A and B are shown apart, each in its own frame.
Chain A
Amino acid sequence: AQSVTQLDSHVSVSEGTPVLLRCNYSSSYSPSLFWYVQHPNKGLQLLLKYTSAATLVKGINGFEAEFKKSETSFHLTKPSAHMSDAAEYFCVVSAPNAGNMLTFGGGTRLMVKP
């Protein structure tokens, strides 16, 4: 069994300040972990993924995430928020069963103030 908990349903930052979106997971397997972004009324876009290589993963648009096995965490960060970063972010875990089905967290809505 696997599950994902996104610790904040809403995060608000000012433009130019750092972003931290927190994610904890549980999995019976060695998981693959992902962050997806969803802009309003749009589909999902992959930001980055961890698949058992380097624990610090760099993604698109300046985002990165660090896999910490001891803490079962995969937090998403960005040094400086941009207005275009305002969106819903999903932390996702995948395990090698059931066709590598994805289990989604509940999402974090990121708001960026000017």
Chain B
Amino acid sequence: NAGVTQTPKFRILKIGQSMTLQCTQDMNHNYMYWYRQDPGMGLKLIYYSVGAGITDKGEVPNGYNVSRSTTEDFPLRLELAAPSQTSVYFCASRDFSYNEQFFGPGTRLTVL
């Protein structure tokens, strides 16, 4: 199993550009999550999904959108990038039966 994979690893955006951060898991997990980690801080939840077709907001959803058309994929969309969205983004997944989340390696995004 590859676990949770994220692409790209790094990206630099200009203000106002859009992009999609990709997240895929091959563990057949129901639950998937997107977090952001700002320098020197813990992770904050952006959006989460409890299954295909179901998504909900976390603590810091403004400026982001998500979709979950399949069990495996949970892309995160930034429509109008802003400097405040400079961060490291982590995707995670969890099986319904267990409380442990498995994290991807992260995407480092810089908005200039």
Contact = CB atoms under 8 A, between A and B. Distances in A.
Interface of A: 4, 32, 34, 42-44, 46, 49, 51, 90, 92, 94, 98-102, 104-107
Chain B interface residue bracket vs A: 20 to 34
Contacts, number: 53
Contact of B99 (A43, A44, A94, A98): A94
A32 B99 CA distance: 8
Nearest to A49: B100
Interface in B27-54: 31, 33, 35, 40-45, 48-50
7 contacts: A44-B90, A90-B43, A98-B58, A99-B31, A99-B56, A101-B58, A104-B44
Interface in B9-42: 31, 33, 35, 40-42
